[in-house]
Chains A and B, each alone.
Chain A
Amino acid sequence: MACILLLSTLLLFFQNCEDHSSNIAGTNEDSLNYRKTIALDISSDTKLLLKRLTGILLPEDDEFFIEVNNLVQNNMYEEATQKITERDEFYNITIRDFASKMSVASEVTTAPLSDFVATIIGIARDDINAQKMLTGSFFYKGKKQTGIRENVINDIVKSNNHYDDLDKLSVNLRLSLEKIDNQKVLSNNKMIDLEDAAGVLTSRAFMMAHAYEGTNRRVIEYSMSQFLCRPITEWANGQLSDAFVGRDIGRSPKVEYDSKCKSCHAPMDSFRPATAYFDFTFPNPKLKTGFINYKNKTTRDPNPEKPTQLSIVVAPEEQLVSSKFRRSKSTFEFGFVVKNNQWVNLLIESGKFEWSSAGAQGEGMKAFGTALSESNLFSECMAERAFKSVCKRHPTEGEASVIRAIGEEFRSSNYSLKKLFEIVALTPNCLGIQ
């Protein structure tokens, strides 16, 4: 009986919500009076800033709250947001969610804590230029602590054990994370410093998400969608040369190839050699122990007829290139052969993505990450993501100029993520704070 009562009350509740939703813009007198009442609440801006930047609220007699509220009351909003972004929760909740979404293809905030996520939190906390997110050779890990596995090769390079433990023990990431210079990978079964490190693009988590199996095209596609906020549908271009389209892409029927395949593959495959020396291997997916295989010398590839047999001889100039670049190579034997990590940016001619001249061509992932980070779209994409995080909605088309302005401020702040969130929170379009 109690359950039925409960259920009917719930239904009533949602019925009421529905009714209100259809009253567009809430212009009735009651709501206006209500707003007037609220406007008299001197601490409501403080609470709004606090909850949107950190996800929490504090008792009104809390020392920190009083301090921030005094700043707000004295119209010192910038100082107030700076104070708020010093709190642990800004890093442990807000920045973590911001980073988690970029770490996996599904773009969910529930993605596990990883080297990717920890590195972005660390960059924000230490106020490191966020371009390093795509170019730096470092990563963040938790400080030594009982109950946390931290063997570099077994728990960080070959598995996510270290970060899983940090999460399981609810470690305060803001306090615990420490920067470690030189990213590590396995090359011919030996751990080495990664010479071609590109920030989180060459993190274990990002490579696991996009370089496991496949042809490494996902690495390019998701780098563009996560860090420039441009899905492939926006940069596909049928007018570009297909000189770099791989051997595994069939060219017939020609009409279909020209109208469908070419437009995506032409720009994507021209960037793809950046990933030539990278592969992600899962010797035992059940154990979740997978790792980045870098410049793993391969003299023989699997026989396509009998994949367990390594019988296809690899040409000497291709032996450091991952075998996935030779997969289905007989589909169109005149296609582009990847022999090294030199890439070309065919999109630069379109002028669409505001690339700098350095982004025209390059060698490897670091140069690719540099090209991305130097495009104005990178700063605007970060602005857009921060906007969604703080303002709880996507910017509308009419707000493109607002995002551009925030992106510009982000650039002039030396790409400070902390500053970016502060700017967004005080943008009138976001929380209505004037």
Chain B
Amino acid sequence: MSRLFFIVFIIFTVSCGEFNANTVGSESSISDGSPGDGGSSVDSGVTESVMKVNTLGVISQRQYLPKVKGCLGLDATSITAAELIEINALTANLSEEGDVKSIAAPTMMVMATLASKICSSLIKQEEKLDSPRFFKGYSFDKSKGQYDVVQTITLLSNSCSDRIVQPDEVELISNKVKEAFKEDSLKSAEEALFVCIAILSSGQFLLN
């Protein structure tokens, strides 16, 4: 598990590189590179930059569970009452209002812990499906499945982030998957968990 967390945090550093800081008015805001960002116009004065900048927000306490349920298509029965209590206790450590300035080291730790819980529930749900939404071709019974990790990364990322995942990001995660599981070719369930945690604890998922 610690190996997994380590790699997840390396991925954070890459995601962080995508943030573009901006100062607008009296507040310091960070834009997330979405279409409204307007690129070159941000240099042409405060008013112009205010017109085009979309301030970055992060996931808040009340948004976490509905967001993962929504983007992963988790059904009502996929999370048990006991798990729900645990998840609610953990989300209390997230930002109250989604203010980007509230990000701190504990936020990232909590994101990774929450991701591990949610991903376990997702895998349990996908396991029961004849045609899984994200883990197509994975075998969860200790045998090697026939699956495409790139497809899984792309599907998960695109569902849970507001932009299309970039090829270098997909490559980064898939390389880490290969590296981590090169000696354990039969552990496709663990691979699924690895990929899911990497995405749900990334900076891109944190944005809202």
Question: Which applies to chain A's interface (DSSP): helix, strand, loop or mixed?
Answer: helix
- Taking CB atoms, residues of chain B closer than 8 Å to A35 are 33, 35, 37-39
Question: Is A48 in contact with B54, judged by CB distance below 8 angstroms?
Answer: yes
Question: Is B100 in contact with A26, judged by CB distance below 8 angstroms?
Answer: no
Task: Answer whether residue B151 sits at the interface, using C-beta atoms and an 8 A cutoff.
Answer: no
Task: Answer whether residue B30 sits at the interface, using C-beta atoms and an 8 A cutoff.
Answer: yes
Closest to B161 in A: A57
- Taking CB atoms, residues of chain A closer than 8 Å to B67 are 51, 55-57
> Which of the residues A16, A32, A55 comes within 8 Å of B66, measured between beta carbons?
A55
Interface residues of A in 27-64 (CB under 8 A from B): 27, 31-32, 34-39, 41, 44-45, 47-48, 51-52, 54-62
The stretch of B9-17, B136-144, B172-180, B190-198 in contact with A is B9-17
Task: Answer whether residue A76 sits at the interface, using C-beta atoms and an 8 A cutoff.
Answer: no
Task: Answer whether residue A254 sits at the interface, using C-beta atoms and an 8 A cutoff.
Answer: no
- Taking CB atoms, residues of chain A closer than 8 Å to B18 are 34
In the complex, A60 Cα to B164 Cα: how many Å? 11
Q: A9-B10, A22-B21, A44-B35 known; A57 and B162 CB under 8 Å?
A: yes
In the complex, A26 Cα to B67 Cα: how many Å? 28
Question: Is A20 in contact with B21, judged by CB distance below 8 angstroms?
Answer: yes
Question: Is B9 in contact with A13, judged by CB distance below 8 angstroms?
Answer: yes
- Taking CB atoms, residues of chain B closer than 8 Å to A27 are 39-40, 42-43
Question: Is B39 in contact with A393, judged by CB distance below 8 angstroms?
Answer: no
- Taking CB atoms, residues of chain B closer than 8 Å to A392 are 29, 55-57, 98-100
Question: Is A432 in contact with B5, judged by CB distance below 8 angstroms?
Answer: no
Question: Is A93 in contact with B2, judged by CB distance below 8 angstroms?
Answer: no
Closest to B1 in A: A2
Question: Is A21 in contact with B50, judged by CB distance below 8 angstroms?
Answer: no
- Taking CB atoms, residues of chain A closer than 8 Å to B121 are none
In the complex, A340 Cα to B53 Cα: how many Å? 52
A432 to chain B minimum Cβ distance, whole angstroms, is 1
Interface residues on A, range: 35 or more
B86 to chain A minimum Cβ distance, whole angstroms, is 14
- Taking CB atoms, residues of chain B closer than 8 Å to A398 are 25, 46-47, 50
B73 to chain A minimum Cβ distance, whole angstroms, is 6
- Taking CB atoms, residues of chain A closer than 8 Å to B99 are 392
* B-side interface residues, number (CB < 8 Å): 78
Question: Is B66 in contact with A93, judged by CB distance below 8 angstroms?
Answer: yes
> Which of the residues A25, A41, A56, A429 comes within 8 Å of B42, measured between beta carbons?
A25
Question: Is B55 in contact with A393, judged by CB distance below 8 angstroms?
Answer: yes
> Which of the residues B3, B47, B57, B159 comes within 8 Å of A58, measured between beta carbons?
B159
Task: Answer whether residue A17 sits at the interface, using C-beta atoms and an 8 A cutoff.
Answer: yes
Closest to A96 in B: B62
Task: Answer whether residue A196 sits at the interface, using C-beta atoms and an 8 A cutoff.
Answer: no
In the complex, A109 Cα to B161 Cα: how many Å? 24
- Taking CB atoms, residues of chain B closer than 8 Å to A232 are none
- Taking CB atoms, residues of chain A closer than 8 Å to B61 are 109-110
Question: Is A10 in contact with B108, judged by CB distance below 8 angstroms?
Answer: yes
Task: Answer whether residue B117 sits at the interface, using C-beta atoms and an 8 A cutoff.
Answer: no
> Which of the residues B6, B21, B50, B133 comes within 8 Å of A396, measured between beta carbons?
B50
Task: Answer whether residue B184 sits at the interface, using C-beta atoms and an 8 A cutoff.
Answer: no
Q: A51-B162, A55-B60, A432-B52 known; A14 and B22 CB under 8 Å?
A: no
Question: Is A393 in contact with B29, judged by CB distance below 8 angstroms?
Answer: yes
Task: Answer whether residue B96 sits at the interface, using C-beta atoms and an 8 A cutoff.
Answer: yes
Closest to B9 in A: A9
Closest to A51 in B: B208
- Taking CB atoms, residues of chain B closer than 8 Å to A428 are 36, 51-52
Task: Answer whether residue B34 sits at the interface, using C-beta atoms and an 8 A cutoff.
Answer: yes
Task: Answer whether residue B26 sits at the interface, using C-beta atoms and an 8 A cutoff.
Answer: yes
Question: Is B21 in contact with A432, judged by CB distance below 8 angstroms?
Answer: no
B12 to chain A minimum Cβ distance, whole angstroms, is 5
- Taking CB atoms, residues of chain A closer than 8 Å to B9 are 6, 9-10, 13
In the complex, A397 Cα to B105 Cα: how many Å? 32
**Which of A13, A16, A32 has the most B CB atoms < 10 Å from its CB?**
A13
Closest to A89 in B: B66
Task: Answer whether residue B23 sits at the interface, using C-beta atoms and an 8 A cutoff.
Answer: yes
Task: Answer whether residue A391 sits at the interface, using C-beta atoms and an 8 A cutoff.
Answer: yes
Mask: chain A, 56-78; 1 = CB below 8 Å from B; 0 = not = 11111110000000000000000
A-side residues, CB < 8 A to B, are: 2-3, 5-7, 9-14, 16-17, 20-27, 31-32, 34-39, 41, 44-45, 47-48, 51-52, 54-62, 89, 92-93, 96-97, 108-110, 170, 391-394, 396-399, 428-434
Q: A17-B103, A60-B159, A429-B50 are in contact. List 19 more A-B contacts (CB 8 A).
A: A9-B9, A9-B12, A13-B9, A13-B108, A16-B16, A21-B30, A25-B22, A25-B42, A45-B35, A55-B63, A57-B159, A57-B161, A58-B71, A97-B97, A109-B97, A392-B29, A393-B24, A396-B27, A433-B36
Q: List 26 A-B contacts (CB under 8 A).
A: A2-B3, A3-B2, A5-B6, A9-B10, A10-B109, A17-B16, A20-B19, A22-B21, A23-B20, A23-B21, A26-B21, A27-B43, A31-B20, A32-B39, A35-B38, A54-B66, A55-B66, A55-B67, A60-B158, A93-B62, A393-B24, A393-B27, A396-B24, A398-B47, A429-B51, A433-B35
